[in-house]
Amino acid sequence: MTQTRFTGSFTQQEPIPEEGIAAALAVLQHGRLHRYNVVAGEVAEAALLEEEFAAQTGARYCLAVASGGYALGCALRALGVQAGDAVLTNAFTLAPVPGAIAALGARPIFVEVTEDLVLDFADLEAKAVASGARVLMLSHMRGHLCDMEALGTLCARLGLQIVEDCAHTMGAAWKGVPSGRQGVIGCYSMQTYKHVNAGEGGLLVSDDAEVMARAVLLSGSYMLYGAHRAAPSAEVFERVRMQVPNVSGRMDNLRAAILRPQLRLLAERVARWNARYQRLEAGLQGVAGLRLVQRPAEESYVGSSFQFLLPDWSAARIGAFLTRTLARGVELKWFGAPNPVAFTSRYDHWHYASAQVLPQTDRILAGLVDMRVPLTFSLQDCDLIAQIIRAEALAVGQGPEPEAAELPVIQ
């Protein structure tokens, strides 16, 4: 019998809104792409983007930069992290997070994660005490928020400042507080697969005037910081402007013009992502051998990707499952793969960090499967994808132990 096959693309994004295209064309036509190159009476697109995102998140200050990874590194520098300092972060994250730490010569210290894919607070406390770290770079990896109130209380007791990596949680919230607003600094990404798309781009938000003044100067404002509208007062810049190096990473006006209309669509996009996520979740409920990740009631998430666990499955069984789903057009990422495929996401792949042993995280990643959920999927697409995953999980999970085979390559 011929099996149904999914024929859509897991990497195709929606087009840029017409308003963004028109704004980008206007920037190209006048040629003033550099954020500080304006004519009399003009406000740069980058400055307007910062002002609008600050208002959207309720932050006092916002800075637009070249990428999400740059935002992370800029945040650490603005907090005064130096070479040799220990910085705590999730063991389950993506390469730009430990990369931002290592780029400063600082030391990534990985914290165990739970089966709900969030920080293990007991391990966080033990490693904070043992390492003497004063900064936690909290990665809301794949859009999963931990108990942010409890974390804030714990970090205050431990003397830890929180930098929130919100690459996967723009538009999410914990008990109504937007993601990125419970640490000292929140960092966001505008890379193509994130919630607004400029190809690359980053945003930082903070209520701390001196930290944000340092970030603006670090980003390459020179002495043009007065052109920033969502920034601290001139007096704050006067105190620090001669102390902060230029590590240029400005956002240009072209990308800002593309992004501003997308920010206005964010709430509508979140609702559409969650509708797709919930169709996948409903389609995979009750599959023997497959465990869904539980979402706490306090979390308002953005379902732009989907994760599930295959606890206690062997590598050979998972490999057979991935091969079968891919043959039916469903592209899944396995976080337990011994060698990196397309991108790295395991702490033991980052050899620039000191060798660390995290048995709990190893066990969880060994069965963790991940999938992109672009908005170009229809709800019916999600139903079909869930049907395929369900059928193959049951076929492989209940069948005989497969022979070891080479894993399929997903780009």
pLDDT, tens digit, 9 for 90 and up, residues 103-136: 999 999 999 999 999 999 999 999 999 999 999 9
Is residue 69 over pLDDT 80? yes
Is residue 310 over pLDDT 80? yes
Work out the percent of the chain whose per-residue pLDDT is above 90: 92
43, two tokens? 């406000």
Please tell me whether residue 163 adopts helix, strand or coil conformation. Answer: strand
Return the closest-CA partner of residue 355 out of 110, 154, 11, 79: 110
* Structure letter (DSSP) for residue 110: E
Q: Which domains, and CATH codes, for the chain? A: 18-264 (3.40.640.10), 266-397 (3.90.1150.10)
Dihedrals phi, psi of 63, to nearest 5 degrees? -135, 130
Is residue 185 over pLDDT 60? yes
206, two tokens? 């903070």
Please tell me whether residue 372 adopts helix, strand or coil conformation. Answer: strand
Dihedrals phi, psi of 139, to nearest 5 degrees? -95, 115
Dist. CA 124–CA 141, nearest whole Å: 16
* Beta-strand relationship, 305-309 and 185-189: unpaired
Is residue 407 over pLDDT 60? no
Q: What is the largest CA-CA distance in the chain?
A: 74
231 burial class (0-12, 13-18, 19+ CB within 10 angstroms)? buried
398, two tokens? 């209940």
Please tell me whether residue 267 adopts helix, strand or coil conformation. Answer: helix
Read off the pLDDT band of 18 (50, 70, 90): very high
Distances in whole angstroms, Cα of residue 61 to Cα of each of 133, 257, 262: 26, 19, 20
- The answer to whether 51 and 62 have CB atoms below 8 angstroms apart is yes
End-to-end CA distance of the chain: 30
Count of residues making up the chain: 411
Is residue 405 over pLDDT 70? no
- The answer to whether 288 and 72 have CB atoms below 8 angstroms apart is no
pLDDT of 283-298, one tens digit each?
999 999 999 999 999 9
Return the closest-CA partner of residue 112 out of 101, 102, 104, 123: 123
Return the closest-CA partner of residue 188 out of 206, 175, 172, 201: 201
Is residue 62 over pLDDT 70? yes
Is residue 163 over pLDDT 70? yes
Q: What is the mean pLDDT of the chain?
A: 95
Is residue 342 over pLDDT 80? no
Dist. CA 218–CA 75, nearest whole Å: 9
9, two tokens? 């693309």
Strand locations in 95-227, DSSP E?
A: 107-111, 135-139, 161-165, 173-174, 177-178, 185-189, 202-206
